[in-house]
Structure 1
Amino acid sequence: MTHVNPSDDEIRNSLRAARTIALVGASDKPNRPSNGVMRYLQAEGYRVIPVNPAFAGQTLLGERVFADLASIEEPVDIVDVFRNSQAALEVVRAAIAEKERLGIGTVWLQIGVINEAAGREAAEAGFAVVMDRCLKIEQGRLMG
């Protein structure tokens, strides 16, 4: 079965309701897409928590970097996955483990991140699942 993304209205509602986004795979390099998406989302008023074990404990764009979702101590509305397709399942499973504690409602796999098993497991866990789309592009298109 191939994953079907939520409708534009459902995505728009998720984006409107969201306050905090955990960006898994955040980069400290300004020319990397994850860094640009983080900057954009911050400018749009979202709190973006960077997740990357290589930079854990450091600060990125004014936010403390966490090693993983389990280390985050406050509610997260959306988990945005900037990892390769193979790593997406591991991130989804971490999101499932932290779903209740963090209040995660949406798992978002960026453009090019396609993992049907991850999408299926996330949907079965009750997440809204967006796959193979850019959060920045969709936010601009639906909310701009």
Structure 2
Amino acid sequence: MAFSNPSRDEIKRILEASNTIAVVGLSDNPERTSHMVSEAMQAKGYRIVPVNPNAQAILGETSYPSLRDIPFPVDIVNVFRRSEHTPPIAQEAAEIGAKTLWLQLGVESEEAAAIAEQAGLQVIMDRCIKVEDAILMPQGKSRS
């Protein structure tokens, strides 16, 4: 059966329930899409956790070389890597107990989706988290 993304209502529930987003492939270059999207999500109230082995810190947060190196729970693993690199990322996301694997716009992998879904993760592919958040939660995250 072909993959299909969750409904907009379900994506909204995922975003509402999520606070910590590990961003695989987050660049320290402010002109890169991964940096702009992550900075916008940080401004909306999410904790952004950079996963980039070539950086010490990005957006004021410690950067980790891999998902396995993050010493605290992660809700969403947001991926800015080419599609062919996503299956091992999906495996790591499952191993660290992430709740959602989110492959950014232009990133799709049936194999990564199957790995994540088999481990119980929600999967969203070929969608921009910043766009979805802006549409579904224009006021930002509510803090309780």
- Report the TM range for the smaller structure's normalisation: over 0.9
**Given residue 84 of structure 1, which amino acid in structure 2 is its aligned partner?**
R
Distance 1:122 1:59 in 2: 27
Superposed displacement of residue 122, structure 1: 0.8
- Match for 1:118 among 103, 112, 119? 112
Q: Tell me which protein shows more helix as a share of its residues.
A: 1
Matches within 5 A, 1:70-85: 70-85=68-83
Superposed displacement of residue 132, structure 1: 0.5
Q: TM-score, normalised by structure 2?
A: 0.93
Structure 2: gaps of 5 or more residues: 139-144
Distance 1:46 1:33 in 2: 17
Q: TM-score, normalised by structure 1?
A: 0.93
SS in 2 for 1:66: coil
SS in 2 for 1:75: coil
Superposed displacement of residue 16, structure 1: 0.4
Matches within 5 A, 1:16-95: 16-55=16-55, 58-95=56-93
1:74-107 deviation per Cα after TM superposition (whole angstroms, max 9, x unaligned): 11100001100000111001111211xxxx1111
**Given residue 84 of structure 2, which amino acid in structure 1 is its aligned partner?**
Q
Distance 1:72 1:51 in 2: 9
1:36-69 deviation per Cα after TM superposition (whole angstroms, max 9, x unaligned): 01100110000000001111xx121110000001
Superposed displacement of residue 2, structure 1: 2.0
Whether the 8 Å CA contact 2:73–2:96 is kept in 1: the answer is: no
Superposed displacement of residue 120, structure 1: 1.2
Aligned to 1:8: 8
SS in 2 for 1:54: coil
Distance 1:121 1:68 in 2: 18
